[in-house]
Structure 1
Amino acid sequence: MTNKQDEAPGRRDIRTLDSGALRALAHPVRVRLYDILSQQGPQTASSLAAMTGESSGSTSYHLRALAKHDLIREIPERGTARERWWERPTGGVSFPGPDTMRTPAGRAATQVVMGEFLDRRHDQLMRFVGTTLRDELDPWAEKALITSATVSLTVEQLGEVNARIQRVIDDVVDEYRIAPGAEPTPSRRIVSLRAEAFPITTESD
């Protein structure tokens, strides 16, 4: 079971989070801050506070905790004496690693982080669906894709399918990767790419 978060540029450089970094990330506010920096680019504690409803003191505290494990980094040349800017380093992250899954604490941290990421992705998807169904369809809605399929696979075939899907996503990210600090425009928006392939647990299992 691997979860890859690759919104930051430099997709080919994948860091597997160790248990310390994963435990540092295992907090709902920190996952949210990390994800905002991944999707929307550099931010300050104040801008993140406005987005999340947290105080700037709270966001500053959590940003420093993330930076301690190199999950994010400060941008000194962009900051001032009163305001520090933060960004996600280039490259993706993957978790859990083998050492993480050997301990109850590591497995618990993985569950928290993965659960928070999936909750955020689901919320974003449902906001998109709610908006597009409430208003007249626009070109962005017409081009969006929400699909699913059910197939019968062996565990080896599941690995092969996932590798093929990952290669497609890798190619798309390499071609259309987000430039650092890029802002959305009327003709260009940040798009979330998702791929899910997993065995279904039946009610009798």
Structure 2
Amino acid sequence: MTEIEGPDEMSAAQMPHAERMLDAGALRALAHPLRVEIYDILSQYGPQTASTLAAMTGESSGSTSYHLRALAKHDLIREVADRGTGRERWWERPRGGISFTNPDAMKTPSGRAATQVVMSEFLTRRHQQLMQYVNSSLVPSGVVDPQEAMITTANLRLTLPQTIDLISRMQHVIDEFARAYRDQDPDTEGLRPISIRADIFPLPEQGASS
């Protein structure tokens, strides 16, 4: 249900053009709160070491190093070639789409459980980052600056074909920007990581229990 399109994009919808569908083993390896956090940091901020990840997560470097190796074992991340030393290894998340939706994995209880953990941790982290932005906004009133962010909700009544059309159009815009800007020089003035999140899903029928 979730795809990551490289260090600069994440979408909360399943995309048909995902370059890699995680198998059950990779999903189980990722299904740990700290591993999800590490993986997401590498996606958002680029290469890190066990030490920099320890500082960002509040964990020990020994713990982050252990989880980095576990992620690397399933090719979820890789060591950055020609960078660092034996004592300070740099790790990165390879570019390309990653889909967490694996029909085969969903056929087993362990696969479903792993998928649920990964999805829950990613979405919880996204919500926490959103609230951190809102609560730390420089605008005294707490209103989001429309020049740098958009937080909006709209409730519509759409047919399935109309919903598919909306999803397709939104994904097209996100893909367009990803292709145009994903390889910018990291030293470009004013460059900063941006999170793109779009949630489109059907609501329960009226009167249905949650």
Query: Does structure 1 residue 161 correspond to structure 2 residue 160?
Result: no
Residue identity matched to 1:106: G
Q: Are 1:114 and 2:114 matched, yes or no?
A: no
Show the counterpart of 1:27. Answer: 32
Distance 1:116 1:101, change over 3 A: same
Counterpart-to-counterpart distance in 1, 2:51 and 2:134: 30
Letter in 1 for 2:35: R
Alpha-carbon contact 2:27-2:115 (below 8 Å) kept:
yes
Cα-to-partner distance string for 1:31-90 (whole Å, 9 max, x where unaligned): 000000000000000110111111111101100010011100001310212111100001
Equivalent residue, structure 2, for 1:142: 146
Letter in 2 for 1:88: R
Find 1:172's aligned residue among 173, 177, 190.
Answer: 177
SS of 1:81's equivalent? coil
Amino acid at match of 1:15: R
Q: Which amino acid aligns with 1:94?
A: S
Establish whether residue 152 from structure 1 lines up as the match of residue 157 from structure 2.
yes
Q: What is aligned with 1:58? A: 63
Query: Which stretches of structure 1, 4 residues or longer, exceed 3 Å deviation after superposition?
Result: 9-13, 133-138
- Code of the aligned partner of 1:142: P
Taking a change above 3 Å as real, the CA distance of residues 112 and 35 of structure 1, as seen in their structure-2 partners, is: same
Correspondence 1:68 to 2:67: no
Structure 2 unpaired stretches of 5+:
11-16
Return closer, same or farther for 1:105/1:80 CA change in 2, 3 Å cut-off. same
Report the TM-score, using the length of structure 1 for normalisation. Answer: 0.88
In structure 2, what is the equivalent of residue 195 of structure 1?
198
Percent sequence identity over aligned pairs: 56
Structure 2 Cα separation of the partners of residues 13 and 51 of structure 1: 29
Instruction: Give the equivalent residue in structure 2 for 1:128.
Output: 133
**What do you get for the CA RMSD once the two structures are aligned?**
2.5
Q: Give the conservation status (yes or no) of the 8 Å contact 2:79–2:92.
A: yes
For 1:195, the aligned partner's letter is A
5-14 vs 110-119, greater mean Cα deviation: 5-14
The structure whose residues are more often helix, as a share, is 1
Q: Which residue of 1 aligns with 2:13?
A: none
Residues 150 and 13 (structure 1), Cα distance of their counterparts in 2 relative to 1, 3 Å cut: closer
Q: Normalised by the size of structure 2, how large is the TM-score?
A: 0.86
Instruction: Identify the range of structure 1 (11-20 vs 36-45) with the bigger mean alpha-carbon deviation.
Output: 11-20
Q: Which residue of 2 aligns with 1:4?
A: 3
The 3-state SS of whatever aligns with 1:114 is helix
Alignment pair present for 1:77 and 2:82? yes
- Asked if the contact 2:36/2:121 (under 8 Å) is kept, the reply is yes
Partners of 2:9 and 2:199 lie apart in 1 by: 22
Matched residue pairs, number?
Answer: 201
